[in-house]
Structure 1
C-alpha cells in the first residue's frame, strides 16, 4: 500500500493524497449488509444534537464478525474490501462449511491465506484465540473486554495492543495510548495489528470530499453576528473579547484545562 499524490491540474487536486491499494472493486455481499438511514446529527425529536453533520451519500453497514465464534473451522481470505463505516479495511472469509463472514483486515493478511478461530492455535496473523494462550510481547487487535462480548479494543486502522504480563486469572495488555488494561484470561483476541495504517496520511484536497462523507462546514464564532454566537459582532476583525466559550456560553474544555494549569503553577 502506498500514497498517491495528484498532479495540481485543478485547485481541488493540488494537495490531494489518497491511498493506492488493490481492494476489491465490486459490490459487497447483500446478506452481510443492511441499509443505514442517515440521522444528520438529529435525535428522536428531530433536534440537532451533533452539529456539522448531514448530506452524506447513501451507504450500507457491513456486519463484522467481532465474536469470531466459528471455532475450529478453517477459513480462507477471498478478498479485501473498503468499508465506508470505518477507517480500516475488511476481509471476506469463506469457511470450510460454506459460510462467509467479514472481519477486520489485519496487516500482512493476503488473499488466499488461511485463518482459524480456536481456544488454542498457531500464533499467526488473523488467527483468533484466548488471551491466556498468547505469549508476552505479541501484537494483538479486536480484543474482548469480557469473555464472549466481542472485540472492543484496537479496531481502528493501524492500531494494536501488546500482551504485557499474565497470571493465573488475568492478562495485562498495553494499548496504543500507553494505557494498561487487565482482562480475563478467557477473553479472545486476534493476532497481528490492524491494516491500512497510512489512513491518517490521506488529504481530501477540497471541501466537497468531506461533504460526501457527511461532514458540514464549521464556522468560527468570531466570524458570526452577535445573535449567533457570544464571540460574534464588533467592528473589523476581533478576538472575541472574552474567554473562549461555546455557542451557548459555556467555557470551552481547552480553556478550563488552561485555567487549571495556571492555578497549579501560581504561587500564592
Structure 2
C-alpha cells in the first residue's frame, strides 16, 4: 500500500501508549544470548487489539508504529466514544467501517471473523493460534494466508512461509492483506539508521586476531581455511549430516 498523507495522523493517542523495556538480546540473568542488539531510539509501545473481539467503528486514520513495519489504523467507536488500534490492511481509507466478530459472509476488508464465517479462498491476516487468543500469525507487512478448505471443526490454511496448517474453525482472523507491502524495498541511508533500529555492528571473524576468533590471523586477506565456526570453535551451521559410506563390492564370480 502506497502511503497516502491524507489518511495519516501524526500524533498517537497518549492513552494507548506505554513504556516498553527492551531486552536488547539478554536473558533473565542479564547475559547476552542474541548478539548485535542494543541501543536504538526510545520507543513507546502501542496497545493494539490483536484479539479483535470488540473493536469496531469508523477508521479515523492511519499511524506509524515504531515497533513494527506495518501501519496501524485508529478506530473510533461512536457508541462507546473510545479509540482503538488495529493492524491496518491494504486499501483502507478514512471513513471505512470496521467490524469485529462479524458473521456476514463476504470479503469485507479489515473485518474480523471466525474461520467458519470466512469464505474459502479468501485472504486473511492476524490469525490466532487457538480460540480466544491474540493473533500471532500473518502480522508482517504484506503477509496473508489463504483458506484452502474447511471441515466441521478445522480449516486448512496456507501460511506465508508456504506451510499448510490446520486451525480450529472458531479461531479469529481478519480479511485482507497487511499494509505497507513495499517495506521490503526500503534502504538505509547511512550506518546511523541501523543503530537507531537497535542493530549493533557485526565484525567478521577473519578480521580479528587469532586470540579473538578461530578465523582470525594470517598473512593478508586469509579466509580462515576451515569451515565456519563460532568463537568457541563449534560449527555455526551445525555438525555435518553427510555420511560418506563405502559402497560394498558386488559379489561377482568369474
Residue 76 of structure 2: aligned partner: 94
RMSD between superposed Cα atoms in Å: 1.9
- Equivalent pairs, count: 244
Of the three residues 247, 251, 263, the one matched with 2:235 is 251
Of the three residues 43, 53, 56, the one matched with 1:59 is 43
CA distance in 1, matches of 2:199, 2:25: 10
CA distance in 2, matches of 1:128, 1:183: 16
1:188 aligns with 2:134: no
| Residue pairs, 1:109-148, within 5 angstroms | 109-121=92-104, 122-148=106-132
Q: TM-score, normalised by structure 2?
A: 0.89
Partner secondary structure for residue 183 of structure 1: strand
Structure 2 contact 9–61 (Cα < 8 Å) conserved: no
Structure 2 contact 125–138 (Cα < 8 Å) conserved: yes
1:242 aligns with 2:226: yes
CA distance in 2, matches of 1:137, 1:42: 42
Q: TM-score, normalised by structure 1?
A: 0.85
Higher radius of gyration, 1 or 2: 2
Residue 219 of structure 1: aligned partner: 203
Gaps of 5+ in 1: 3-19
Partner secondary structure for residue 140 of structure 1: strand
CA distance in 2, matches of 1:26, 1:193: 23
137-146 or 42-51, larger mean C-alpha shift:
42-51
Cα deviation for residue 227 of structure 1 reads 1.8
- Greater fraction of residues in helix: 1
Partner secondary structure for residue 26 of structure 1: coil
Gaps of 5+ in 2: 248-254
- Flag as ranges the 4+ runs of structure 1 deviating above 6 A: none
Cα deviation for residue 53 of structure 1 reads 1.2
Partner secondary structure for residue 208 of structure 1: helix
